[in-house]
Chain A
């Protein structure tokens, strides 16, 4: 099956600094990637949809200037948490849209293993 990687798997940063998380599709081209945030014992919350070569579409309530998303190639999307604060500590998951065969059918999403961000 399709593989999506995330790097780093864990990161600790100091308040006020920025941290970048990478999401890569290893064996397929992903025209669309999705970024989720997950709080402990809660469901996944979609933050933004990232399309290769265009600006990301953010969900309501997600700060565009704080969570910068770049999708520069068909295999890489990055999420940068700028001026991080302790409340940004969370588990961040990306997914990449895979190939489908039926016109109009939603293409399957493959999830990365997630990145645990701790802001001290």
Chain B
């Protein structure tokens, strides 16, 4: 069974600074996707970024980028130029390729952005 671990229950960052959220996962699969979801106070889940395991290049989406280390089974999220609107719960998630389509979520990291 796959597991996703987020070791930082809470993180804080100053506005305009950079912060990195950690995520590790455990799987015996070789083909899979990884995601970072954001859940603001509204509780709406928002996809931030996705990474295909077969791609060596790290995914980027504007101010959001990942550091995907497949051998280490690590998938961290870097938020650059943090904004107040980035304050939210962030969940790391895993899904297998071609098999079960269940998302496996980590426990989440609460990000606070200080003005």
* Interface residue ranges, A against B (CB under 8 Å): 32, 34, 38, 41-44, 46, 49, 91, 93, 95, 97, 104-109, 111, 113-114
Contact of A111 with B33 at beta-carbon distance under 8 Å, contacts A32-B101, A49-B102 already known: no
A102 to B107, CA, bound (A): 29
Q: Are A109 and B98 in contact (CB under 8 A)?
A: no
Interface of B is mostly: loop
CB distance from A43 to the nearest CB of B (A): 5
Seed contacts A44-B105, A97-B101, A109-B103; 18 additional CB < 8 Å A-B pairs: A34-B102, A34-B103, A38-B43, A41-B110, A42-B108, A43-B105, A49-B101, A49-B102, A95-B103, A104-B31, A104-B97, A105-B98, A106-B95, A107-B101, A108-B47, A108-B50, A113-B44, A114-B44
A-B contact count (CB 8 A): 51
Q: Are A106 and B43 in contact (CB under 8 A)?
A: no
A34 to B44, CA, bound (A): 15
Q: List 26 A-B contacts (CB under 8 A).
A: A34-B102, A38-B43, A42-B107, A42-B108, A43-B106, A43-B107, A44-B91, A44-B105, A46-B103, A91-B43, A93-B43, A93-B45, A97-B101, A104-B97, A105-B98, A106-B33, A106-B96, A106-B97, A106-B101, A108-B47, A108-B50, A109-B101, A109-B103, A111-B45, A113-B44, A114-B44
Q: Which residues of B contact A107 (CB under 8 A)?
A: 101
Q: Are A43 and B108 in contact (CB under 8 A)?
A: yes
